[in-house]
Amino acid sequence: MQLTVTGKGVDVGGALRQHVETSLGSILGKYFGSAIEAHAVFTRERHLIRADLAIHIGRGIVVNSEASANEFYAAFGSAAERLAKQLRRYKRRLRDHHAMASRTVAAEAETARAYVLAPPPDEDEDEPDRTDGNEASAPVVIAEMSTELPSLTVSEAVMRMDLADAPVLLFRNRSHGALNLVYRRGDGNIGWIDPALAETGR
């Protein structure tokens, strides 16, 4: 596993690097086996230290975890504990996925364009309304990149979203090929949008 341990505005010593490597290796060995790469980033936020962990454990599967505490080891320990809990929850499914991927050649994943847009400017109340029929100026594109659009079952999509600690995941539903979306609701449940169900009346 390729591991990088970095600090933003803080010095990360050799002892902490060794502790991170040993701990992550132990967690992965217990719940999954191995990983492609891992990143641990420590950042000072006022009086706290924040630890952000990202582990790439397979094609399209990334596990993210973060925690804050008064010192480096406590912040990392909390983030690592959360990461272990995520891996424990999906242990069997991750091992099945890993075994299947090693036996078969994965089909080429579809790609899509991903954009990062600047937030809209604050409305100026003194500025007169423009009613010339032109749409407001388009949002400013800050970044543009390619992103994978995986073909998954709904349960696989929920697993990937949960492991990545992401608010939303767009995917192609393996059962019928249409674009689907899973997202975290405000009440803690998972939402699923499937336009294909409405089109077919199912």
Position 40 in a domain: yes
Instruction: Report the CATH number that the domain containing residue 159 is assigned in CATH.
Output: 3.30.505.50
Asked if 68 and 140 sit in the same domain, the reply is: no
* Domain at 53, CATH number: 3.30.160.100
pLDDT at position 136 over 70: no
In the chain, % of residues over pLDDT 90: 39
Task: Name the E strands within the chain.
Answer: 2-8, 37-45, 48-58, 61-69, 110-117, 141-149, 151-152, 168-173, 179-184, 190-193
Q: Quick check: 36 pLDDT over 50?
A: yes
Same domain assignment for residues 7 and 97: yes
Handedness of CA 5, 115, 62, 184 (dihedral sign): positive
| Of residues 188 and 67, more confidently modeled | 67
Same domain, 162 and 115: yes
Q: If you average pLDDT over residues 31-48, what whole number do you get?
A: 87
**Domain boundaries, position 174:** 109-120+136-200
Q: Do both 9 and 68 map to the same domain?
A: yes
> What pLDDT shows up at residue 24?
92
Residue 102 pLDDT level (bands cut at 50, 70, 90): very low
The answer to whether the pTM exceeds 0.85 is no
